Amino acid sequence: MSTDLKTILSEFIKIYSSKGPLPSFSISHIVKTLLLLESSTIGRQALSKMLKIGEGTTRTIIKKLYDKGIIAIDPVGGCYLTDYGKLITKKLREYVISEKEADLKEFGVFLPAWAIHIRSSHIPNITKARDIGIRYGAEGVLIFHFKNSKISLPMITDDISKDYPNTSKFIRSFTLNENDLVIIGFAKDIITAEIATIAIAIHIILEII
Which carries the bigger pLDDT value, residue 18 or residue 73? 73
Predicted confidence (pLDDT) at residue 89 exceeds the cutoff of 90? yes
Bin 148: left if φ > 0, else alpha if -120 < ψ < 50, else beta.
left
The arithmetic mean of pLDDT across residues 174-187, rounded, is 98
pLDDT at residue number 22: 47
∠ CA 31-178-138 to the nearest 5 degrees? 40
DSSP bridge partners of 118 = 96, 181
pLDDT at residue number 121: 86
Beta strands of the chain (E only): which ranges?
71-74, 78-81, 96-102, 113-118, 140-147, 150-152, 181-186
pLDDT at residue number 29: 95
Which strands make up the sheet holding 150-152, listed edge to edge?
A: 96-102, 113-118, 181-186, 140-147, 150-152
Burial-class residue 86 by CB neighbours within 10 Å (0-12, 13-18, 19+).
middle
Q: Helix 44-51 crosses helix 27-37 at what angle (to 10 degrees)? A: 120
The arithmetic mean of pLDDT across residues 98-120, rounded, is 98
pLDDT at residue number 10: 86
User: How many Cα atoms within 13 Å fall on the side-chain side of residue 48?
Assistant: 13
The arithmetic mean of pLDDT across residues 75-103, rounded, is 96
Question: Strand 113-118 and strand 78-81: pairing?
Answer: unpaired
Calpha distance 113→122 (Å, rounded): 23
pLDDT at residue number 23: 59
pLDDT at residue number 8: 87
pLDDT digits (tens, 9 = 90+) for 38-75: 999 999 999 999 999 999 999 999 999 999 999 999 99
pLDDT at residue number 12: 81
Residue 175 backbone phi and psi in degrees, to 5: -85, 95
Domains of the chain: 5-91 (1.10.10.10), 95-208 (3.30.1360.30)
